[in-house]
């Protein structure tokens, strides 16, 4: 998670990416920021709070890969997508640099959006949970057969969480995220 957060890319082959000069420069740039670890920990904590909120409920549809709340962040592509989308909102895309004030504002926005989602999830009744999660839509979107399924899923979740971090409104259903790719 730390590497994808620092590189701001969802496709990371750890054996080759650290040998890449641009990736080295991105990591050095990220790690030279004395606030980088603090940003990482705040974003990781947001992901954990969302995961804990989702953990308590499950859907009634047991078809597909995702059918309980805890399954979302059991998936490495979902974790990677979350961290990459957050990192890009805070620091910009690879090669882009954003000032410290922007980084603070973006981090605060992510924390607020995540807290709003957790509050929304915690207020749901078990009957409302299926309609909110929309794992049937997620499972359908991920059922497309591709050559490189891991790459597809990481890109899928990165785009889904970019949409999540771009809204300041309360989300009534996660379907808007699952249909973003």
**Residue 85 CB partners (closer than 8 Å, separation 6+):** 158, 159, 160, 161, 162, 164, 165
114 in Cβ contact with 50 (< 8 Å): yes
Cα 34–chain centre separation? 23
Domain range summary for the chain, segments of one domain joined by +: 2-178
Q: Which residues contact 6 (CB under 8 A, 6 or more apart)?
A: 26, 27, 30, 31, 36, 40, 87
Q: List, for residues 18-72, the tens digit of each pLDDT value.
A: 556 555 555 566 566 678 889 999 999 999 999 999 987 665 566 777 777 888 9
Q: Whole-angstrom distance between the N-terminal and C-terminal Cα of the chain?
A: 22
pTM of the model: 0.84
CB of 69 closer than 8 Å to CB of 57 = yes
Read off the pLDDT of residues 118-168 as tens digits, 9 standing for 90 and up: 999 999 988 898 889 998 899 999 987 676 767 899 999 999 999 999 987
Would you say 86 and 4 are in contact if contact means Cβ atoms under 8 Å apart?
no
Quick count: other Cβ atoms within 10 Å of Cβ 103?
19
């Amino acid at each position: 998670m730390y590497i994808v957060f620092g590189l701001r890319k969802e496709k990371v082959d750890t054996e080759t990416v650290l040998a890449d000069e641009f990736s080295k420069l991105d990591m050095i740039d990220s790690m030279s920021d004395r606030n980088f670890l603090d940003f990482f920990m705040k974003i990781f904590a947001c992901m954990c709070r969302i995961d804990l909120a989702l953990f308590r409920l499950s859907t009634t549809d047991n078809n597909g890969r995702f059918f309980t709340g805890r399954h979302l962040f059991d998936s490495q592509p979902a974790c990677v997508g979350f961290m990459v989308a957050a990192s890009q909102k805070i620091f910009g895309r690879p090669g882009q640099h954003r000032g410290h004030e922007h980084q603070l504002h973006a981090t605060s926005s992510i924390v607020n959006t995540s807290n709003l989602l957790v509050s929304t999830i915690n207020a749901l009744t078990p009957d409302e949970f299926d309609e909110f999660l929309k794992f049937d839509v997620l499972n359908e979107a991920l059922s497309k057969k591709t050559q490189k399924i891991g790459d597809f899923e990481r890109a899928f979740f990165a785009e889904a969480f970019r949409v999540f971090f771009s809204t300041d409104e309360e989300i009534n259903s996660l379907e808007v995220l699952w249909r973003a790719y």
